[in-house]
Structures are given as C-alpha cells and as structure tokens.
Amino acid sequence: MGRIKKQKTKQGSLVKSIEPTNYDQRPPIFSLEKLQPGKYCLSELDQENKAMFADAIFRRRHLTWNDIKRTDRHGLGTEKIAKTSINAPTPRFITDDMDSYLAFRYHGKRPMVGYRQRDVFYVLWFDSDFTLYNHQ
C-alpha cells in the first residue's frame, strides 16, 4: 500500500490580521426574510408596487450606508420611524431596547419599513397605502 506523504508546515509564517468590517462603507443588502404577513406584506402589493420595490433596491446597489445617510429621506435615503408610531403588531424578535425602525422609499413616497443589522436591511412592512404609521 502507498503512504500519504505529510505536508510540512512553515514555521514562523506571517498571519495577516483581519481588520474589522466597517459596514457603513458597504452597500445595503435587502432581505425579505423577516417580512411580516398580513396587510403590509409583499404579497399584498400590486404588480406596479412590486416592480418599483425591485427598482428601488437596484438603484441603491452602488450606494454605501454612508452615502444613504447623506441622501434625502424622500429620495434614496432613509429616515427613522419611532417604534411606538407603527400601527402593526411588533414582531416577537424585536427587542425592547430597539426604539426605532428605518424607512426607505420604494415607490414615490411609499415606504418599506424595517431594521438594519450590520449591512443588511430587513424589510418588515410595505406601507403602500400610508396607514402603517402617521406620515408627516
């Protein structure tokens, strides 16, 4: 029988340190994983609103979170919405220490509302009829 030759490892080889990731310098990843069922779900949107959602995330593909923070809230930017302003049940996985959500516009001033973790934006609701919260 043949033997397997052991590979020699280099002693004292340099290990590169890994820099912590700055997620503000990355573009957002949009996720529908946490989307809530019911009135504000993607399944309740008509074809035009669904198409505009796809276009909205496509238009943001090259923007970083830093770019988005500097952009108009009614354009490609975002705005904070107080958790207490939402007229839908709070998902069980949302903790008490979270006091606000983020809203992105996906069709005119129609918002998708959710939250950010690292570079991922989790969409919870689509507010196509402006009833999810009081719009000012």
**Distance between CA 109 and CA 75 in Å, rounded?**
8
* Residue 50, burial from CB neighbour count under 10 angstroms (0-12, 13-18, 19+): middle
Q: pLDDT for 86-98, tens place per residue?
A: 999 999 999 999 9
pLDDT value of residue 77: 96
Give the residue-averaged pLDDT of 79-86.
97
Q: 70 in the Ramachandran plot: left (φ > 0), alpha (ψ -120 to 50) or beta?
A: alpha
pLDDT for the residue 87: 97
12-65: per-residue pLDDT in tens?
A: 556 666 888 999 999 999 999 999 999 999 999 999 999 999 999 999 999 999
- In this predicted structure, what is the pLDDT of residue 9? 54
* CA atoms within 13 A of residue 62's CA, in its CB half-sphere: 1
Which segments of 67-99 are extended strands (E)? 78-82
